[in-house]
Structure 1
Amino acid sequence: MPRRSLAVLAALAVTLSLTAVPAEATPRTCDRPRVETFGPASVTGAIVGAAVHEGRAYVVARGQKPPVLAEIDLATRKVVRSVRLPDAPATGEPEGGWATAVSGGKVYVGTYPVPDLYSFDPATGEVAHLATLGRNGGFVWSLAAAPDGTLYAGTYPDGRVKEYVPATGAIRDFGVLAAGERYVRAVAADAVNVYAGLLDKGRLVAIDRATGAVKELAQGTAGIGVVADHGDRVLAVSGPTLIDVRKDGTDIRRVALGSGSLDALTVAPDGTVYGTSRPDGAVHRYRTGDGAITKVADPPSQDDETRRLALVDDHTLVGFSGSGGMWSLDLRTGVPDFTDLIEAGLPSGPERPQSMLLVPGRAVYVGGHFFMDVRDLRTGKQRRFRVPGEPKDLVRRGDKIYAAIYPSGQIISIDLRTDRVRGVAHLGHDQQRPWDIEYDPVTDKLLVASAPLGGRLEGALSVIDPRTGRVDSYLGVIPGQSLMSLSLDSRRGVVYLGGDVLGGGGVTPVKTTASVAAFDLRTRKVRWQADPVPNMRTFQDIKVHDGLLYGVYKRDSGAWIALDLATRTVKHQGTLSGYGELTVHRGKVFASTFFGGGNAYELGAETRHLATGLGDDWYTNPQLHFEPGSWRAWALSGRHLARIDLDPRCPLLTITQS
């Protein structure tokens, strides 16, 4: 149910302090149409949840509104039916469902970013909304059915396990499992217990279904994101370690997984465990007592995330890939068979983009989930190709684009002429959230600002040689904070860094105020660090221009500042509708922001409100990409690729979404 926040809109009217444009300064070009749209910016067939039941697979689309639940005939590998999950009465709209389970012949789906529970009855085709398990902005991350059909859901951001009884609709909350925990990322259930993997705290716990008593079975070295029932034992994956423990917490075994991890497990009737590794996607097997996992086959879908594994007979393993694929693997031969789900009939649709890059006169690149969509500016044609994850930011170096990829923390290159994708480097050091990337033409290096995944605070500045892939990592360059943004002054050899006291989340911050720091690329040392505004916790973006460092704070009332680099004092400050990304163009600083319908501004001694109604459909930062020598910028209008006129001399541009 789309809603506009009246409170935000009312606040805009009184707090923005916008400057009107004198009528005599308005050029004639302002009378021409100022918005062009070009269809969906990023088209997706990506999936999150998946389940297998009686010769059929059920997958849930990611990023589409409303989400698609598709039924696939495993024999023909074709989508035979699809339904949409209807919007529920609570505030917010579902965009996907990570959590799926089968109970009593029905398929159950837990959604995000509203944590709702739905059922689909294959016999009747009926879809039903059953319950709301939290507030707007939450997730049902995991779902498991006990032998008696009772369902157990792991939720975010409250970090809890909740019970749902299909026969009665009764809901039970097992309460806080660990102080400060936000993610119950994985659950499994048997007749006695629920087993939950805690992502922030890295704990595997057993919850007595009758009494609610909680017992810790194992402590991991990293967040636990995969849990599987294995007879009298429980399996869990904690970063680069497979934990194999008896259900009473005894006889714990830890198996090193090497440099990667496992993202899905399934147990065969004979006790053999099959798993897929991340980031490559290869297939492995394990049995209790083995000192290592054994590779069974090369990746059926290279560098992909596996959402679900299942054995459909004694020798056939089926996997479901996050990019929107399904594969089967003959365990006797190791030969896979891959199916693109869009080609199989999965309805595709527009998703919220991750990133954008304009190559002037040539193309606009839009990063989505495991795909890049490209609009050729010379021909007007669209094309798309696969990338190994979510490109959180893009930068150009010569005839290549470089993308910072989540969740692998990988940097890839894309050839502008051929669309060929190649891996360049991995950030390592648990830096799986690369938020910002820039290119330094003086040193011919890539610069990446990143954050860790899960319960860690300190991020890193990575200096990468694109020719050799060498990574010089500067962990904790702002002590006690991760990095959300950077801005390069190549002439002075300095990169400025914007901090975030929350880090990867799930751990108590040690700072209360986000810092900025100046890092010398020649000496590789921090020149200075400052805390411009007390108790502002996160710099969403920073940009240096004309002796000032402009910064936009995240979720802190849309606050922005301009910091004098010479004196390190705040020269200008104000309030926008929300947070977003900064752009310098033709000597001016622009901001594009979330909330209040999606807005664009010019920042300076006075703030000009340039456009409203752009929509709030970016997945990461709202962005503007200006064409050289003009005021036309590539952006989004809703989920459509758009080119908008942001001439500061024109009146406020109001866009109405259809």
Structure 2
Amino acid sequence: MPRKLLALLTVLTALSLPGLSTPAAAQVTSAPRCDTPAVTTYGPATVTGAIVGAAVHDGHAYVVSRGPKPPVVAEIDLATRKVTRTATLPDGPSAGEPEGGWATAVAGGKLYIGTYPVPDLYSYDLATGQVAHLHSFGASNTFVWSMAAAPDGTLYLGTSSDGRLWEYVPSTGAVRRYDVLVKGEHYVRAVAVDETTVYAGLLEKAKLMAVDRVSGAVRELAQGPMAVGTVSLYGDRVLAASGSTLIDVRKDGTDLRQFEAGVGIIDAFEVAPDGTVYLTSRPDGAVYSYRIGQDAVTKVADPPSPGEETRALKLIGQQLVGFAGSGGIWWLDLASRTAEFVDLIDAGFPAGAERTQSMLLVPNRALYIGGHFAVQVRDLRTGKQRRIRVVGEPKAMVRRGNQIYAALYPSGQIISIDMRTDEVRSYGYIGHDQSRPWDIEHDPVTDTILVASAPTGAKLQGALTVLDPDTGKMDVYAGVIPDQSLMSLSVHPGRGLVYLGGDVLGGGGTPPTRTTASIAAFDLRKREVVWQIDPLPDHRTFQDLKVHDGLLYAVYKRVLGAWIALDLDTRTITYQGVLSGHGELQVHRGRVFTSTFFGGGNAYELGSEAKLLATGLGDEWHTNPQLQFEPGSFDAWTIVGRDLAKVRLDPRCPPVTIPAPES
């Protein structure tokens, strides 16, 4: 059944965007207009105040932005609820640029920050506000996920994708890399440390480990059912969360107490001096408490910020202070159970351009642009924009009538947005361990909303979700392609069939059982797979599928740039070739187009071969490059760098070359 409305609407001050409006009816001459401007940009496609790392020290909070480049470090006065000082993290010597910092720790008068997608360490002087780059722990596309300061000020950091624990001594700059904690593990997701030992939570192997700071000796303290993503210490005990399972064990590994809390995924701990453990869970965002030695949790309060991930939790007197990932701070009075929420942008946090998650054009009306916990709406008639708060990242969107449907990460929730009122409605969660919804379409024959999804962590099975938007009934077909997650789907117009594109790697945390990604045809009336094939051996992941004129076009992801056109009657490959990278497909005016990552960011028309239409779009999409064509023309909305742009992609014109931005 449909769930209650759970997202709040935040409307930004309307911004005038000259030149953005679109004529009510596009007029296209029969001859190409290759002399018109090839590219027009309109500023950042979507902005954010989202945060990752957060810490509290001496009456101030310190947060690090998520998404914009360069990342922003902000100091907030917890008494006035205002940002008092900001700084940016300079680009370090490693290839790539930092876009945020999950890991933070305070020691010796400095805030230390571990960044991604370059695994660098920075310091922020709490007295002067000066920032310094200290060390790089690896190559680009690697994360510093976690960090803790020992009582003597030594820092311990957990990284991916090497799955290593590191030691950094601020006084000398000395660095030590510990041996592999568990073979095959790629993520040290949480750390805590005392005088002698580092306690590490592992994502894929779901283990809680203890590492001797001097000898490096490793002990296993507990095995959880899911990723161990939160670790804290109290006296002689270690507290950890493995999904919704709470782990409570002595530091020597004895007296293990482990139970299912039944509260969703536990994402933050704070231990009071009397041993009361306060914790938050997602996707609801509620607050609970636990006493050492018990086997149950007690609900303290409803979500101070509904549907949020809590980045950090701190007890100050009789108030809990929480940091919401979308960019907010809340204060919960434990006596009255009342909460106050402050949006960081309202408090003075500088919003920045983020990577775009998804884009949907409502012709002659608006562009809906998915960002982090928000959808930015740009009115094409007035040039104004507004921002709708949602509880996740809209990975894909589709229109049905006056409703925009979106599938959200990391909750796996499906929502709709009313185009007339901006009202947000939740249809609930996919469940079945599905957290990454990658594609969404509407089938007019069965009048259903279809979602392709993947799990997180050490699981292979994806799912096809079939939602009846009128009744809210949601049917989930997990494992519809055995031992593969789903990356894409494409409805066959008028036939009640949907084609599914698989990924043998699943959530990426366990070895695959297959070597080749499959395409499956699913009958939406019979609710069953009618055929399944593996078109290209040893190609493990489909990025996108699209039906056109009896052919199923497909772009692969992990074999760089491979694409095919499959005859749906014979199920044989009619055309195939290689692109500069991968992205999403779009059918427009009887032609098939795609935009891709890599090679500078390119757009192509696909037919018997790939024809380059544009280059220089950049590689700044968060998910997959997309094109949204204006009806009656070959002008497509997309992004150039991180700016919203309209690009002429007329196959009859010479390719468009977009110059690189000046540094």
**TMscore range, shorter length:** over 0.9
Return the alpha-carbon distance in structure 2 between the equivalents of residues 114 and 353 of structure 1. 20
> 1:169 & 1:56 partners in 2: Cα distance?
27
- SS of the residue 1:131 aligns to: strand
Give the whole-Å Cα distance in 1 for the aligned partners of 2:416 and 2:637. 22
1:98 corresponds to: 102
Judge which range, 561-570 or 571-580, deviates more.
Answer: 561-570
Q: Retained in 2: the 8 A contact 1:457–1:502?
A: yes
- Superposed displacement of residue 259, structure 1: 5.5
User: Cα deviations across residues 26-74 of structure 1 (Å, max 9, x unaligned)?
Assistant: 9451101121211110011110000011111110001110000001111
2:564 matches 1:561: yes
Corresponding letter in the other structure for 1:99: A
Contact between 1:225 and 1:238, CA under 8 Å: does it hold in 2? yes
Runs of at least 5 residues in structure 1 that lack an aligned partner in the other structure: 1-24
Tell me, in whole angstroms, the C-alpha distance in 2 between the residues paired with 1:287 and 1:656: 60
Residue 389 of structure 2 is aligned to residue 386 of structure 1: yes
**Which amino acid in 2 is paired with 1:78?**
K
* Secondary structure of 2:33's aligned partner: helix
Q: Is the CA contact 1:393–1:436 (under 8 Å) kept in the aligned structure 2?
A: yes
In structure 2, what residue type is equivalent to 1:346?
A: F
Q: For 2:450 and 2:219, how far apart are their aligned partners in 1?
A: 44
> What is the one-letter code of the residue matched to 1:228?
S
SS of the aligned residue for 2:434 comes to coil
Question: How big is the shift at 1:123?
Answer: 1.4
For residues 67 and 27 of structure 1, the distance between their equivalents in structure 2, rounded to whole angstroms, comes to 47
Would you say 1:573 and 2:576 are equivalent positions? yes
Secondary structure, in 3 states, of the residue corresponding to 2:135? strand
**Of 80, 105, 111, which aligns to 2:84?**
80
Q: 1-side partners of 2:349 and 2:560: how far apart?
A: 40
Q: Cα deviations across residues 557-609 of structure 1 (Å, max 9, x unaligned)?
A: 21111111222221111111111110111111101001111110000102210
Q: Percent identity?
A: 69
Which of the numbers 590, 614, 619 marks the counterpart of 1:611? Answer: 614
1:196 aligned onto 2:209: no
Q: For 1:341, give the aligned amino acid.
A: L
Asked if structure 1 preserves the Cα contact closer than 8 Å seen for 2:539 and 2:558, the reply is: no
Which residue of 2 is the match for residue 42 of structure 1? 46
1:529 is aligned to 2:526: no
- The residue aligned with 1:109 is 113
Question: What is the distance in 2 between the residues matched to 1:517 and 1:473?
Answer: 16
Query: Gapped runs of 5+ residues in structure 2?
Result: 1-28
Inter-partner Cα distance in structure 1 for 2:326 and 2:128: 29
1:279 matched to which residue of 2?
283
- Give the counterpart letter for 1:290 in structure 2: Q
Alignment of 1:263-342 (within 5 A): 263-313=267-317, 315-342=318-345
What is the identity, as a one-letter code, of the residue corresponding to 1:44? T
The letter of the residue matching 1:393 is: A
Q: Which amino acid counterpart does residue 633 of structure 1 have in structure 2?
A: A
| Higher mean C-alpha deviation, range 466-475 or range 178-187 | 466-475
- Decide whether the 8 Å contact of 1:26 with 1:651 is kept in 2: no
Return the alpha-carbon distance in structure 2 between the equivalents of residues 522 and 259 of structure 1.
36
Matched, 1:635 2:608: no
Code of the residue aligned with 1:226 in structure 2: it is T
User: Which piece of structure 1 moves more, 461-470 or 377-386?
Assistant: 461-470
Deviations 1:138-192 (A, max 9, x none): 0000111111111111101111111111111111111212222111111111112
Secondary structure of the residue aligned to 1:403 is strand
Give the equivalent residue in structure 1 for 2:252.
248
Report the AA paired with residue 561 of structure 2: G
Counterpart secondary structure, 2:94: coil
Kindly report which structure 2 residues correspond to 1:500-519, keeping only aligned pairs within 5 A, or say none.
500-519=503-522
Deviations 1:467-496 (A, max 9, x none): 233221111111111110011114222111
How far apart are the structure 1 equivalents of 2:415 and 2:388?
14
CA distance in 2, matches of 1:309, 1:353: 29
Tell me the SS of whatever aligns to 1:30: coil
Q: Under a length normalisation based on structure 2, what TM-score does the superposition of the two structures give?
A: 0.94
Measured in 2, the distance between the counterparts of 1:260 and 1:397 equals 31
* Equivalent residue number for residue 479 of structure 1: 482
Aligned-partner Cα distance in 2 for 1:452–1:335: 35
Equivalent residue for 1:345, pick from 348, 351, 364: 348
Aligned twin of 2:8 = none
Q: Output the CA distance in 2 between the equivalents of 1:322 and 1:262.
A: 14
Q: Aligned partner of 1:303: which letter? A: G
Q: How far does residue 134 in structure 1 lie from its aligned partner after superposition?
A: 1.4
Inter-partner Cα distance in structure 2 for 1:160 and 1:470: 44
Query: How big is the shift at 1:645?
Result: 1.3
1:47-446 matches, within 5 Å, as 47-258=51-262, 260-313=264-317, 315-446=318-449
Q: In the alignment, which residue of structure 2 is the partner of 1:545? A: 548
CA distance in 1 between partners of 2:473 and 2:231 (Å):
35
Q: Which of 443, 447, 452 is 2:450 aligned to?
A: 447
Provide the aligned length of Structure 1 versus Structure 2.
633
TM-score, length-normalised on structure 1? 0.95
CA distance in 2, matches of 1:217, 1:470: 42
Q: C-alpha separation between the residues in 2 aligned to 1:427 and 1:26?
A: 46
Task: Give 3-state SS (helix, strand or coil) of 1:123's partner.
Answer: coil
Question: What is the distance in 1 between the residues matched to 2:417 and 2:660?
Answer: 33
Aligned-residue CA RMSD (Å): 1.3
SS of corresponding position for 2:360: strand
Residue type at the aligned position of 2:593: F
> In 2, distance between residues paired with 1:187 and 1:79?
28
Instruction: Look up the match of 1:9.
Output: none
Q: Secondary structure at the match of 1:307?
A: strand
Q: How far apart are the structure 2 equivalents of 1:179 and 1:571?
A: 43
- SS of structure 2 residue aligned to 1:37: strand
Alignment partner, residue 19 of structure 2: none
Amino acid corresponding to residue 72 of structure 1 in structure 2 = I
Can you list the C-alpha shifts for 1:375-399, whole angstroms capped at 9, x where unaligned? 0011110111211010000011111
Distance between the aligned counterparts of 1:78 and 1:510, measured in 2?
52
Contact 1:217–1:249, Cα closer than 8 Å, also in 2: yes
* Paired AA for residue 482 in structure 1: S
Equivalent runs, 1:8-47 vs 2, <5 Å: 27=31, 29-47=33-51
| Matched residue, 2:654 | 651
Paired with 1:458 and 1:586, the residues of 2 have a C-alpha distance of: 36
- Are 1:462 and 2:450 matched, yes or no? no
SS at match of 1:580: coil
Using the TM superposition, name which of 487-496 and 136-145 deviates more. Answer: 487-496
In the aligned structure 2, how far is the partner of 1:470 from the partner of 1:180? 40
1:637 and 1:657 in contact (8 A); partners too: no
The one-letter amino acid of 1:601's match is Y
Q: Name the SS for the 2:584 alignment partner.
A: strand
Q: Which moved more, 1:299-308 or 1:469-478?
A: 469-478
Q: Give, in whole Å, the separation in 2 of the partners of 1:615 and 1:344.
A: 32
Counterpart-to-counterpart distance in 2, 1:414 and 1:239: 30
Counterpart residue type for residue 294 of structure 1: T
1:257 Cα deviation after fit: 2.4
The 3-state SS of whatever aligns with 2:303 is coil
- CA contact 1:27–1:650 (8 Å) conserved in 2: no
* Deviation at residue 289 of structure 1 after TM alignment: 2.5
Contact 1:26 1:650 in 2 (8 A): no
